[in-house]
Amino acid sequence: MAGKQRNENAVLRIISTQTADGETDRSELNTTAHYRYSPNETEIVYTELDENGNENGETVITVLADNLVTIHKTGFTEAVMILECGKTHAVRYNTMLGTMDMLLCALDVKQDLHSSGGRLQLRYLIDIGEAYSAQNSIDLRVSLRSSR
């Protein structure tokens, strides 16, 4: 987080939508990130902030050539999420308030990422046993910053 030095060479715009129990919540995040592209593996790293603007974690999104996506969260929230179309993956979501075990099933993984940025779209189901289920979508757009 603050002690880590990385080249924040990109700007992210992330729109997240969650639908559960007939209700839809939408949030938008605009932030800087480190973006590293290769045809086989793309990595996006950004710092999570709380509502007061304090750093409270880091998220690393890795996109593999076969549209397998991992989201690794560290800090206030700890989790490794795996999104792969047609497959269900278990995830343990740890927070300061407790731990949740859930299942993630990717419905759609679309990516158009290249050396100058691009777009990643994810749509997946979250199932927390009998207690809760939701459909999430993430629309992430990456733009490289101009170097001066």
Annotated domain spans of the chain = 10-144
**In this predicted structure, what is the pLDDT of residue 48?**
86
* Average pLDDT, integer, range 74-103: 92
Q: Is pLDDT of 126 > 80?
A: yes
**Residue 26 to residue 18: CA distance in whole angstroms:** 7
Tens-digit pLDDT profile for residues 52-69: 878 889 999 999 978 899
Query: If pLDDT is split at 50, 70 and 90, which confidence band does 2 have?
Result: very low
Query: If pLDDT is split at 50, 70 and 90, which confidence band does 44 have?
Result: very high
Answer CATH for 10-144 from 1.10.3210.10, 2.40.10.170, 3.50.30.50, 2.40.128.20: 2.40.128.20
User: 3-state secondary structure string, 46-65?
Assistant: EEEECCCCCEEEEEEEEEEC
* Average pLDDT, integer, range 63-81: 93
What is each CA distance from 142 to 29, 46, 57, 82, 129, in whole angstroms? 12, 12, 20, 20, 34
